[in-house]
Structure 1
């Protein structure tokens, strides 16, 4: 199994911070630069340097762009050749982390990430960037990831400005350095052979951000649009802690958001912002060995529990039906004795981590409890397969359970058995025997 990556963005995320952290983790910056130079981009150079942030050593990414030539006549090159920089200067992204990308821009936000929202870079149509990626010879997964990231940004901007995604002018991510950040991150992930990515909940900061369309409260509209469905953290600080590029990387690349990584740490990389703050201005990337091989059939679940001594049977039945409809893996209740010798009931809900919050809210809304306990657990499950058999009463499915490749459990699927029993006036056990006998006969005819 390939390693996984956990992005610790406790203090925020920007594209160049993640790229720097991946380089610190072991991705070859020279190889990334070589792949980027195969694209029709302005001339550039990449380098990193070690810096200290709150006594933590981290890697700072520097991008130097060549002096732009005169505008080209049309197409993507047109966007590449109208820079208004003197490109040996210090470039601050101005998003809460200030990343020092070797440009000099006339505005800044309070927390300085390396890409400002509108800092003299030419605008680029999203369609032009996507066309460049489609025509490239980048590795397939790199092309797929980069295309998905730029598409997510274009769709978010399109919803905000009421434009088709292809017609969106990308301000921050249309800039050369941000294109390098996004594609560079995808190349670094490929170099590290990363399939699965997790991340912490995301902070956004507070204040006002200076954008091409005026001043907006933090988080910027595109950032918040991209963070839909992503859990936000409670960490707060003055300035823009998460940039639109950082939000897009999380939106597309991250499979699951969790406060703590799962697996065995193999290597750790730190990507730096440009300035010192009261908090460490760093992003941490952790390369993890996946759990032991035996966990291939084990899944992580969340257990939700509450105990009640004042609920009715109707309330309990309604709640259990609602919880199952909301995606609970299983729901059950157990008679218990409570304080003052009152008989009560313990309601237990098994859920995937992704559905835990919604099911917790469901418990609180549908039952007269003042609190819900939550704990992490895992369960070993049999690998399941279904086979359809034909009986004298009709067709039904049989569920087969395998452990380490060996068949250890066979059962007739209840809903099919119940359907046949009702249709033919038979008992459940009669139909179950018929279905299992039919499966045995079918199995015997297949064996040599």
Structure 2
């Protein structure tokens, strides 16, 4: 699985993202070929090499002919229809549509109109259509499956837009950044545009620092303005360190210290139920574990009108949270699911095999620093050995537990 990490060191915009992806290796000819198949006005697209405060980066250049139909704005509904009817690759359609839909909803909310009736101004002009669809084509060309990003700086001050002078971040940008972690670092000027914010909002799976990743390639996309800092977006093609083998967190969500202990982010999903059978709860638990839940448990609670009920709690890695949330909505009677992000500290772990009179059994060991603090026999191994030998489960369990009390093989 190919993973993209967007390091928003100086914010993000559509043209910076496209330029960074081209610098990362996306084929400009592939992007142009698909863009020219859209019913849009003639254009030219190329990149130049520029230097931003000592960093060499790609700068996207566009030349767009005046609209044939004499207008400079397009309705959101028209843009979405254009994408739907196009011959773009399916994933490019989905991603492009999601970005434009998010922008339309933000603009509609600000201006008090329905999303489909929004007339795009700054974000709806031809160059932004090229930027957004171009970004999605570049990701398709690079075969990007998942996108992660750093917290993003917005900038501060004021920016002149179609309706007047606005504070930074602009209203639509601010709305799009709801739920997106913002960087502590800032500078005067607009660092993150509505298009950039929409890319983060719709395409990024999670936000955080660059951890537990192997960097494979790096690309830099330059912004238009010159600041006292490098005005670039850094795009990295990365491989998750734990991508193979045991299921682990998204790459940035786990930090491992020198002792081997780690702290990771987990999603906690909750729903309270008072009108569901025990059989349905059992089935839901099976579905949740099959969908990636780390743990599922039920707690007796008293609900409104003193009704006895069940609090259903699911612990899962962030990348499985959406799937588990969908299971809760489909397989239980709840009308809503609460979600929160927690952190948990994990001890360093190791699995060893010990010999018992009933056959080999695996032990899960836990270390605090270099000290072994506990080891527990693997349930399935104990159960299988007990069935095979025709002895009680506890007998095999104790034999495994005391085979090597020092934890060595």
TM range (shorter): 0.5 to 0.7
Q: Which residue of 2 aligns with 1:29?
A: 28
Q: CA deviation at 1:209?
A: 1.3
1:264 corresponds to which of 214, 223, 246: 214
In structure 2, C-alpha distance between the alignment counterparts of 1:377 and 1:57, rounded to whole Å: 41
Q: CA deviation at 1:410?
A: 9.0
Q: Which residue of 1 aligns with 2:119?
A: 169
In structure 2, C-alpha distance between the alignment counterparts of 1:156 and 1:200, rounded to whole Å: 22
In structure 2, C-alpha distance between the alignment counterparts of 1:152 and 1:293, rounded to whole Å: 30
In structure 2, C-alpha distance between the alignment counterparts of 1:39 and 1:410, rounded to whole Å: 59
Give the 3 Å change call, closer, same or farther, for CA 376–54 of structure 1 in structure 2. Answer: farther
| 1:11 is aligned to 2:10 | yes
Question: How many residue pairs were aligned?
Answer: 288
Q: Which residue of 1 aligns with 2:63?
A: 64
Alpha carbons 1:153, 1:226 under 8 Å: kept: yes
Larger C-alpha radius of gyration, 1 or 2? 1
In structure 2, C-alpha distance between the alignment counterparts of 1:58 and 1:23, rounded to whole Å: 10
Q: Which residue of 1 aligns with 2:86?
A: 136
Alignment of 1:54-93 (within 5 A): 54-69=53-68, 71=69, 81-82=70-71
Q: Deviations over 1:412-440 (max 9, x none)?
A: 9xxxxxxxxxxxxxxxxxxx99xxxxxxx
Q: CA deviation at 1:40?
A: 0.5
In structure 2, C-alpha distance between the alignment counterparts of 1:381 and 1:329, rounded to whole Å: 18
Alpha carbons 2:5, 2:235 under 8 Å: kept: yes
| 1:124 is aligned to 2:74 | yes
Give the 3 Å change call, closer, same or farther, for CA 52–302 of structure 1 in structure 2. Answer: closer
Give the 3 Å change call, closer, same or farther, for CA 358–143 of structure 1 in structure 2. Answer: closer
| 1:219 is aligned to 2:190 | no
In structure 2, C-alpha distance between the alignment counterparts of 1:257 and 1:155, rounded to whole Å: 22
In structure 1, C-alpha distance between the alignment counterparts of 2:140 and 2:162, rounded to whole Å: 33
In structure 2, C-alpha distance between the alignment counterparts of 1:206 and 1:277, rounded to whole Å: 13
In structure 1, C-alpha distance between the alignment counterparts of 2:382 and 2:176, rounded to whole Å: 45
Q: CA deviation at 1:325?
A: 5.9
| 1:159 is aligned to 2:109 | yes
Q: CA deviation at 1:215?
A: 1.4
Q: CA deviation at 1:289?
A: 2.0
Give the 3 Å change call, closer, same or farther, for CA 268–359 of structure 1 in structure 2. Answer: closer
Higher strand share: 2
Q: Which residue of 2 aligns with 1:87?
A: none
With the length of structure 1 as denominator, give the TM-score of the two structures. Answer: 0.58
Contiguous gaps of at least 5 residues in structure 2:
256-267, 272-292, 296-314, 322-338, 352-363, 365-377, 384-392, 395-409
With the length of structure 2 as denominator, give the TM-score of the two structures. Answer: 0.64
| 1:146 is aligned to 2:96 | yes
Q: Deviations over 1:183-234 (max 9, x none)?
A: 0000000000001000000111100111222211110000000011111111
In structure 2, C-alpha distance between the alignment counterparts of 1:218 and 1:411, rounded to whole Å: 62
Q: Deviations over 1:322-355 (max 9, x none)?
A: x9969x978xxxxxxxxxxxxxxxxxxx985799
- SS of equivalent to 2:127: helix
Q: CA deviation at 1:299?
A: 3.4
- SS of equivalent to 1:236: coil
Alpha carbons 2:122, 2:162 under 8 Å: kept: no
Give the 3 Å change call, closer, same or farther, for CA 136–29 of structure 1 in structure 2. Answer: same
Alignment of 1:271-282 (within 5 A): 271-282=221-232
Contiguous gaps of at least 5 residues in structure 1:
72-80, 83-121, 304-322, 331-349, 361-373, 383-402, 413-431, 434-448
Q: Deviations over 1:338-373 (max 9, x none)?
A: xxxxxxxxxxxx985799x9667xxxxxxxxxxxxx
Q: CA deviation at 1:381?
A: 12
In structure 1, C-alpha distance between the alignment counterparts of 2:6 and 2:269, rounded to whole Å: 32
